[in-house]
Structure 1
Amino acid sequence: MKPVAIVPWTEEFFAGLAERLVAATGGDFSNVLVLFPLRRAARHLCDRLAELPGLPLPLLLPEIAAVGEWTAGLGATFAPAPPVMLDALDRVAILHDIVTELAAADPEDSEFPTDITRFFPWGLELAELMEELLRQGVPGRDLAHMDGQVLAPAAALLARLGTIHDRYRERLTAEGLATPGLCVALAAENAEAIAASLDGRRIFACGFAVLSGAEKKLFHTLWKKDLLELIWHADPALADGGRPVHFACREHQRLLKDWKAKATVIAAGKARRLRTKADPARATLVLDADAANLSSKKLRFFEAHDLHAQLKVLETCLSDAPDLDSTAIVLPDTGLLSPVLHILPQKDVNISMGYPLARSALARLLETMLTLQETRLSAGRYHWRALVALLRHPYLKMLRLGPDEPLRAVFHGLEAAIRQGGAYVDPFGLPLPGGEDAPPSPEVLALAKRVLTVCLTAFDIVDTPRALGNALTGLAELLLDPDHAGDAWERFLIDAECLFRLATDVIPALTAGRLADAALPTATLFALLRRLLADERAPFEAEPLTGLQVMGVLETRLMSFKRVFVLDAVEDKIPGAPRYDALLPDTLRRLLALPDSRERDLVAAYNLYRLFFGAEEITVFYRTGATGTGLFEDRPSRSRFVEQLLWEEEKRLGRVLTPGEPPVSIVRLPPCPIPKADAALPVTPAVAERLAAYLADKRLSATFFDTYLACPLRFFYRYLSPLAALAEVAEDGDRAAVGEVVHEVLRDYFTPFLGRDIDGADLDPGELAALYESRMRASPAYAALPPDGQLLLLRSGRARLADAVAATPRTVPLALETELVASLEVDGRSYPLAGRADRIDRREDGIVILDYKTGSLSLPKNTVWRDEALWSRIGAAGGLGPYDETLLDLVAKRFGSVQLPLYCWLHAVSRHETPADAAFVELRDRGQERPLFGPRLEPEARNEAIRRQTPQLLACLVRNLRDAPSFAPRPDERRCPYCDYRAACGA
């Protein structure tokens, strides 16, 4: 039995491996098999063999295989017939049949999830557990009394786990089926026969950190037959008995003990051999010291607040490096790839990592389509936000007709139409507008309708995995249609790879299998699709070039670099939190002799430390300030492996390192607070010209003055700028449209009562409510609401209008929705003013002007009319006095609105009769009238307020508007969240 050969992890593994292969075989690889834990290692070995001096070229390379594929292929030869490999859905179908049979045999056990819909999520977990039992060579056994530790369905399945496992394997064998796990198990069970068939071959198992149970049994058999030699990249102390072995190599140490094997260190690399010849004793000392700790390395740690600070320092480190040859940037999370690529000093980098399909643009398109179905109402009405997200997706907008991309204009117009409707929209009921110059051609309309049909209608009725797969096939055919795709997939290679994975892996898994025609709820089907997408990865498998490489942690296996940068080395990424398994939690895995999180953490430690020991410069970045991803959103902490490195450094120094002391640096980016700038918009000559033109041509309304009082900057955007408010769907209802309906209903209801003496007793609330309901049901604002919103709008509207008519005092309605117009003289210039009074009544005290309010209202207090100091300032500002900078804020605070005073003055001037009062009818409450003056203000004071003070106030506002040097914002927590121009406002 051959001793285990160890390439010290301070040396380059593939160089030592190549030398060992040549030394063991003399360069004759005709009967040599080299096994690796990953397929990509073959390319690295071939490069090192080509670089070896003295090796005659050309030569026959050894057979190189990944251990998983090799063992599965061997195991398949021991099946009774060439087996048919099952995918995940087929395994779930077989397990469902077995569980149904067990439930039928034991009707008292009601916790068995026999219904396919209820069983499906458990079936996916159960299929994974069956695979792991087979790969580990562990017989399944019943786990009783699991109640309270797992959910009831999981406890029922675990209680019969041994029976399920046995029947599952029997079914696979009887029907000529197989899974990768079963093939590996068959290889382990027939290890003696495999050893006999491989007699005379030389097998090298290279670079394994941990073996599954089945692989360990097969390797042990071949090793005892002297057919297999293990070559590790590990701590050379494994071969030294006098020095403690690094904790990351405990699995190697355990295997040596279990197999009663010896280990020997083999030389690696030209530089190491030359130094050994010059001074063998010194070389051995250096080797031992390097392998024991990392003190001889250049260690740097950067503690940052967030990812942005890490990237900033990484960019600086890359720029300061003398060269980027043999440099690796290690990313524990694929989500870091995109931001890292933006800060690299060179773009010709080698990316060696898999990119999850779930993070791709294709997955976002699919997620949008699934969201559309999950939020869809009956009759094909979809939520507007998801529809807009669909129309904005670049895959759809880039579809072509010849050299043009006409869908951009069509979808832009369709989006504008969607934003004018309600929260739920039928896109097929909307027109499909084209560009500005001409309407879309029939070909363009056909393509647009095909897109909507493929993305919406095709998914409306999916009820089986096959139907879902067929709907996805339609999407793939649309995107790949050569008449519409153009050269897009030749330019966007990663997107093309993701689409390829969808077409060749995801869709066949749905359409070809035992569960393909099983009727499943939509939620289950969509959960299945999301699970399949999450399991797919688009690989970056570039050549193992020298220079700068961007890699994941797993992709660094067996490779060595001169310079290593590890980004975001926090505990939830390295080693990371284990995936929660609802069927067999981590705490129960030892009951089945399955590896748990401790072994996973040990493998992560080996991968990281092996990388560190092979490097000369190690730079680790981690964050401590940004919120973490834990249950309680705890702050992230640096990885336990980083803590181990710091602890070793502190032991070497003999003291505790303080924050900011080398080698630990705290990243302190210079604070860049947002400068406090004046958000006011100055009145330039162009703005002054536009304002003068508006004042000369337009009638000034109450809304005009109230907008200026509330916020001068908003006034500018609304009246003087070309900006239009962004069209957004009011998901809780269009309040303005509802208000218009209410005004129309009240106008038509009171029309028959004009000139009649009435009060609340003369009005029929039921008639008003019926009129309101009929008008509201015909309103587009009502149709845009969901059913619960429609019901609430009808019930609340009926109740509040009934309260309003019941609160009507004795009155005689004279006019409804009456236009009032008059002119105001300011500095010798006449300004037309206008207003529309909702209702004008005659009462005991005289004329009363009413305005219906469905929203909030603001009324001045009576004391404002007696404030002589205030009116003195208003008079001065309205005349020829100097510009008063603070007066506008004071007037806005004291008055709030000038609508009712303006209406009273307009009526007094145009109708030559001074109103006795004016009032808001507060419809959002109980229909009570909120008077402008009320009984506490004497008639003489009212007449003074209307005839003299109101025009004085209006003149003051006109002059303030005309003379103001800027339009300043007036932030208000009640109004700002609903402002149409908040995106453009600097305040």
Structure 2
Amino acid sequence: MLSFIKTVLIDLQSKNLNFEDLNFILPSKRAGVFLKYHLSTIIEKPIFTPDILSIEEFVAELSGLETLPNTDLLFRLYESYKHVTPENEQDTFESFSKWAQILLQDFNEIDRYLIPQEHIFDYLNAIKELNHWSLETNPTDLIKNHLKFWKQLKNYYAAFTDNLLQSKQGYQGLIYREAVKNLDAYINNSTNKIHVFLGFNALNTSESLIIQGLLKKNLAHIYWDIDAAFIDDNIHDAGYFTRQHRNQWTYFTSHPFNWVTSHYTEEKNIQSIGIPKLVGQAKYIGQILDELTKSKTELSKIAVVLGEEQLLLPVLNSIPKSITKLNVTMGLALEYVPLASFFELLFIVHKNNPSQLYYKDVINLLSHPSISRLFETETNNVSSDIVAHIQTHNLVYLTVADLKLISNSHSVYIDLLFQTWNNNPEIALKTCSELIFKIKSKLDSDKQNHSLELEYLYRFNTLFNQLIELNTDYKYLNSIAALETIYKELLSTETLDFKGEPLEGLQIMGMLETRVLDFETVIISSVNEGILPSGKTNNSFIPFDVKIENNLPTFKEKDAVYTYHFYRLLQRAKNVYILYNTEIDVLKGGEKSRFITQLDIENIHKINHKIISPDVPIIEPKTEEIKKTPAVMEKIKLLSNKGFSPSSLTNYIRNPIDFYYEKILGIKEFEEVEENIAANTLGSVIHNSLEDFYKPLENQILTIEHLKTFKNQIQDMVTKHFEKLYNKGGFSSGKNLIIFEIAQRYISNFINQEIKSIRQGNEIKILSIEADKTIDIKIDGLDFPIKLKGKVDRIDSFNGITRVIDYKSGKVEQNKVEITDWEDITTDYDKYSKSFQILCYAYMMWQQNLIQLPIEAGIISFKNLNEGFLKFGKKASSHARSKDQLITAETLNNFEVELKNLIIEICNSEVNFTEKVLD
């Protein structure tokens, strides 16, 4: 296959043109490298390299203006905006930057297409005057301001362009307009220059006039790269622009329209492959490349064309190890490198200039890999210690002083990260630069190779230097929010360029970088509607009908541009893999591109369609089982000697694996910061408050005076225990205030119920509060000590009947403290765990002769106080209504049998810890 570029060079050679005297104008700089390569293959003796320019470089040279970066243009536009707008009507730079970007794009398009500025701005203003939504005779201020904006557009444009032209600078559109103005002078001074334009398709009005002017004076040759299948089909979008040029340029009335080829209809292997998600596409690209390398396909003839730039990193990570040479032309967007997420977190912390730091922001920053290494010491990482301290002490909001108290040895880094920026961009920029040098210094001192991280730092240092320069020159950044807006704008345009040999190995590129280039094997990703083509995106102040009226491009023309690029890739290719995402995306849709459907309808090539899904292995659900090794048995013996608690035994009943992890391995649940007061904290506050109230009354009869005294102290008591348990979390607002009030209400309602009971003539005597007991249990067959331990919330005497009471802050129903069959009490956690716990407490008290049977045992549920004391009961059958609620020696003997059986099972080396599948 002869590439398009080589075909052009051969034709130029046949015309006996001297290559050294030619000026090649290409759609992109990238194509120039390939042109030089192909030129070297056809010349017979060394020559000086001809001038090779991209169209943007050529037009800039023609205009005599310097191209300004987009961010600089934004500041210059604001300068002009301030000049023509009364001070009391001016937007802040932050607000201005949100709409000015769109205005810059519109100015750019108006100039590139040489639209008379006065005409279009007056036209827009007239439309807005007609269309505004108010029918009132006297418009409101809102409408006046709305209409004033449209009236001012031409003033913004005039002031802005005058400002730029005075300094010999411009944006792309202005440069194009000036280049057209200078064309005649350029032609008069360039009578000996021959220009070769090759591979162009969609030309704006300025480019079209420049090329036609040079063609008319016989100072240029133009080579189109178009297939007959596209240009001769009057409705095919791939030939949309070249048909216009052929029909509308006067040059072609007297000169032939050459370079229409017929490569597209040649036989091709085209596969359309649907794959779920971006990563799925990346992995499949790796699979295709692996197959191609095994079949000895020449790598330099393969191009991977990425429809979405965020696919670059997954693709690079999916390339087979056998591919050692590759060239990435598109560059890695700086916003996707790890360091970008660090600065994003830093701006989140400081954007609103907080007086206190939110713990999640602090933890996110300290845990970021770029910063975490600054806190490394020889023995540990101090940032992990700070995070642990925050979690342990439940610190929801912190100050810089708090952080320094935790770790004063790293106060320099704490200041850099968290010291307030005072909403001052100068402080912010200085701090960011200092952080970059601190991280660099740390990397330099490390013996490992950190070349990639250092490259990231260099690029970000350059970016912040740009921001410092802009802020110094213009002084328009007056808030952190404004700085963040410009920072994000710069970040989105910067890339980290890869170094590679452009003519060797696998080529990875974006769609626009494929212009003029040809490959035998092409892999195109993300061929979905909304991506290829991009569809109806209208980021402009100029309405669709006004664009049509003034011959400005709309989404239809932009779709035609991508149609051309897509089909041009297919023209000379032999193997084509078209990948698309099968999963529906909320913003971009999940539908395959119309290009794929069009290929089918054309019926020129047979398209092999298939859907690929990841090979997901079927994993049979298997319950986890842990054998009781000698080491595990030693742990069980230590635990039994320390004492089994009722809650640990019910945990075993619920799921033996959880018991194993918690009690044998000692794995505790991760302790997060309680931003809102958790249920267990609420329960602990209620328990501790009632303990403080009732503990002094042990062995006393409860009186109404006692209880009234308690009522007056509820708020102070609850506050005391919340402060103790919840540390500095704060409970004076939001959900926490509600939970704080609930705790008081629960205790108040409980005391009211006690007062009511006493007034009804009941005698309540407090026997013991929070009785912490441990007993020994002898079990036949176990030759090591077994203990049972637990803390009983309350033991009292109610009209002479001893009651063992357990408090529950959650909701418990009466049926949860009743059993039918003794065997079920150690098997069904959901139904019988409450009964098991209260019987454990009663059993311990009985074994220590602290209570006289019969007794009652049960639960007081603070969420179900109206039901009063929920007594344990034994029913004769599941349907029986009557139940025995007195706990006798027989009751506890029956319970003892089940308790010992449960402990025997735990201590039996032959019975494994087997997972229970929970519903």
The answer, yes or no, to whether TM exceeds 0.5 is yes
TM-superposed CA distance for 1:87, in Å, is 0.6
Please state whether the residue corresponding to 2:778 is helix, strand or coil: strand
Instruction: Provide the C-alpha distance between the structure 1 equivalents of 2:492 and 2:413, rounded to a whole number of angstroms.
Output: 25
Partner of 2:845: 907
Partner of 2:402: 429
TM-superposed CA distance for 1:590, in Å, is 3.4
TM-superposed CA distance for 1:506, in Å, is 5.0
Letter in 1 for 2:338: A
Q: In the alignment, is residue 449 of structure 1 matched against residue 385 of structure 2?
A: no
Match of 2:192 among 170, 175, 200: 200
Letter in 2 for 1:802: S
Instruction: Provide the C-alpha distance between the structure 2 equivalents of 1:454 and 1:16, rounded to a whole number of angstroms.
Output: 60
Please state whether the residue corresponding to 2:37 is helix, strand or coil: helix
Instruction: Provide the C-alpha distance between the structure 1 equivalents of 2:344 and 2:768, rounded to a whole number of angstroms.
Output: 56
1:166-565 alignment runs, 5 A limit: 166-173=158-165, 178-235=170-227, 247-262=237-252, 264=256, 290-291=262-263, 293-307=264-278, 310-311=281-282, 313-321=284-292, 322-325=295-298, 326-345=301-320, 346-373=323-350, 378-379=355-356, 381-384=357-360, 386-398=361-373, 406=378, 409-420=381-392, 421-426=394-399, 429-430=402-403, 448-457=410-419, 460-464=421-425, 466-481=426-441, 484-486=443-445, 491-493=450-452, 495-509=453-467, 511-513=469-471, 516-518=474-476, 520-540=478-498, 542-565=500-523
Match of 2:645 among 698, 701, 706: 701
Q: In the alignment, is residue 792 of structure 1 matched against residue 751 of structure 2?
A: no
Partner of 2:74: 89
Contact 1:37 1:66 in 2 (8 A): yes
Partner of 1:878: none
Instruction: Provide the C-alpha distance between the structure 2 equivalents of 1:768 and 1:242, rounded to a whole number of angstroms.
Output: 90
- Deviation by residue 1:255-282 (Cα, 9 ceiling, x = unmatched): 2322223365778xxxxxxxxxxxxxxx
Instruction: Provide the C-alpha distance between the structure 2 equivalents of 1:479 and 1:353, rounded to a whole number of angstroms.
Output: 28
Please state whether the residue corresponding to 1:512 is helix, strand or coil: helix
TM-superposed CA distance for 1:604, in Å, is 0.9
Gap change, CA 1:962 and 1:100, over 3 Å in 2 = same
1:921-936 alignment runs, 5 A limit: 921-924=860-863, 929-933=868-872
Instruction: Provide the C-alpha distance between the structure 2 equivalents of 1:730 and 1:923, rounded to a whole number of angstroms.
Output: 22
Please state whether the residue corresponding to 1:574 is helix, strand or coil: coil
Instruction: Provide the C-alpha distance between the structure 2 equivalents of 1:370 and 1:342, rounded to a whole number of angstroms.
Output: 30
Letter in 1 for 2:836: V
TM-superposed CA distance for 1:251, in Å, is 0.9
Letter in 2 for 1:477: F
Letter in 1 for 2:684: E
Gap change, CA 1:502 and 1:462, over 3 Å in 2 = farther
Gap change, CA 1:771 and 1:893, over 3 Å in 2 = closer
Please state whether the residue corresponding to 2:887 is helix, strand or coil: helix
Partner of 1:985: none
Partner of 2:780: 827
Please state whether the residue corresponding to 1:573 is helix, strand or coil: coil
Instruction: Provide the C-alpha distance between the structure 2 equivalents of 1:783 and 1:176, rounded to a whole number of angstroms.
Output: 60
Partner of 1:889: 827
- Deviation by residue 1:426-473 (Cα, 9 ceiling, x = unmatched): 465247989xxxxxxxxxx76x43333333326x42334x44433332
Instruction: Provide the C-alpha distance between the structure 2 equivalents of 1:324 and 1:12, rounded to a whole number of angstroms.
Output: 17
Partner of 2:767: 814
Letter in 2 for 1:819: D
TM-superposed CA distance for 1:149, in Å, is 9.9
Instruction: Provide the C-alpha distance between the structure 2 equivalents of 1:25 and 1:509, rounded to a whole number of angstroms.
Output: 52
> What runs of 5+ residues in structure 2 fail to find an aligned partner?
135-141, 759-763, 875-880
Partner of 1:645: 599
Instruction: Provide the C-alpha distance between the structure 2 equivalents of 1:490 and 1:266, rounded to a whole number of angstroms.
Output: 55
TM-superposed CA distance for 1:307, in Å, is 4.7
Instruction: Provide the C-alpha distance between the structure 1 equivalents of 2:494 and 2:70, rounded to a whole number of angstroms.
Output: 18
Q: In the alignment, is residue 714 of structure 1 matched against residue 714 of structure 2?
A: no
Letter in 1 for 2:773: L
Contact 1:203 1:228 in 2 (8 A): yes
TM-superposed CA distance for 1:27, in Å, is 2.8
Q: What is the aligned-residue RMSD (CA, Å)?
A: 3.8
- Deviation by residue 1:615-652 (Cα, 9 ceiling, x = unmatched): 1221222232x232437xx5x12211122112222x67
TM-superposed CA distance for 1:118, in Å, is 3.4
Instruction: Provide the C-alpha distance between the structure 2 equivalents of 1:545 and 1:323, rounded to a whole number of angstroms.
Output: 18
Instruction: Provide the C-alpha distance between the structure 2 equivalents of 1:519 and 1:202, rounded to a whole number of angstroms.
Output: 48
Contact 1:352 1:549 in 2 (8 A): yes
Instruction: Provide the C-alpha distance between the structure 2 equivalents of 1:382 and 1:958, rounded to a whole number of angstroms.
Output: 47
TM-superposed CA distance for 1:720, in Å, is 0.9
1:723-872 alignment runs, 5 A limit: 723-754=667-698, 755-759=700-704, 762-777=708-723, 779-783=725-729, 787-808=733-754, 809-810=757-758, 811-827=764-780, 831-855=786-810, 857=812, 864=819, 867=820, 870-871=821-822
Q: In the alignment, is residue 917 of structure 1 matched against residue 856 of structure 2?
A: yes
Partner of 2:138: none
1:24-43 alignment runs, 5 A limit: 24=15, 26-27=17-18, 29=20, 31-43=21-33
1:612-623 alignment runs, 5 A limit: 612-623=570-581
Gap change, CA 1:800 and 1:693, over 3 Å in 2 = closer
Contact 2:528 2:593 in 1 (8 A): yes
Gap change, CA 1:827 and 1:113, over 3 Å in 2 = farther
TM-superposed CA distance for 1:554, in Å, is 1.5
TM-score under structure 2 length normalisation: 0.85
Partner of 2:10: 19
TM-superposed CA distance for 1:892, in Å, is 5.5
Gap change, CA 1:663 and 1:937, over 3 Å in 2 = closer
Letter in 1 for 2:423: V
Partner of 1:676: 621
Instruction: Provide the C-alpha distance between the structure 2 equivalents of 1:969 and 1:197, rounded to a whole number of angstroms.
Output: 89
TM-superposed CA distance for 1:510, in Å, is 5.3
Instruction: Provide the C-alpha distance between the structure 2 equivalents of 1:945 and 1:545, rounded to a whole number of angstroms.
Output: 92
Gap change, CA 1:907 and 1:515, over 3 Å in 2 = farther
> What runs of 5+ residues in structure 1 fail to find an aligned partner?
1-9, 105-111, 268-286, 435-444, 654-661, 875-886, 974-987
Partner of 2:878: none
Letter in 1 for 2:585: G
Instruction: Provide the C-alpha distance between the structure 2 equivalents of 1:194 and 1:669, rounded to a whole number of angstroms.
Output: 59
TM-superposed CA distance for 1:718, in Å, is 0.8
Instruction: Provide the C-alpha distance between the structure 2 equivalents of 1:470 and 1:504, rounded to a whole number of angstroms.
Output: 13
Please state whether the residue corresponding to 1:546 is helix, strand or coil: coil
Contact 1:304 1:668 in 2 (8 A): yes
Please state whether the residue corresponding to 1:572 is helix, strand or coil: coil
Partner of 1:981: none
Instruction: Provide the C-alpha distance between the structure 1 equivalents of 2:873 and 2:545, rounded to a whole number of angstroms.
Output: 75
Partner of 1:599: 557
- Deviation by residue 1:714-764 (Cα, 9 ceiling, x = unmatched): 111111114333343333235444443433322222345441432496344
Letter in 1 for 2:391: R
TM-superposed CA distance for 1:613, in Å, is 0.5
**Higher deviation after alignment, 209-218 or 940-949:** 940-949
Q: In the alignment, is residue 60 of structure 1 matched against residue 15 of structure 2?
A: no
Partner of 2:587: 630
Instruction: Provide the C-alpha distance between the structure 1 equivalents of 2:61 and 2:448, rounded to a whole number of angstroms.
Output: 35
Instruction: Provide the C-alpha distance between the structure 1 equivalents of 2:670 and 2:90, rounded to a whole number of angstroms.
Output: 51
Letter in 1 for 2:837: Q
Gap change, CA 1:582 and 1:135, over 3 Å in 2 = closer
Gap change, CA 1:426 and 1:91, over 3 Å in 2 = same
Instruction: Provide the C-alpha distance between the structure 1 equivalents of 2:18 and 2:574, rounded to a whole number of angstroms.
Output: 32
Instruction: Provide the C-alpha distance between the structure 1 equivalents of 2:477 and 2:17, rounded to a whole number of angstroms.
Output: 62
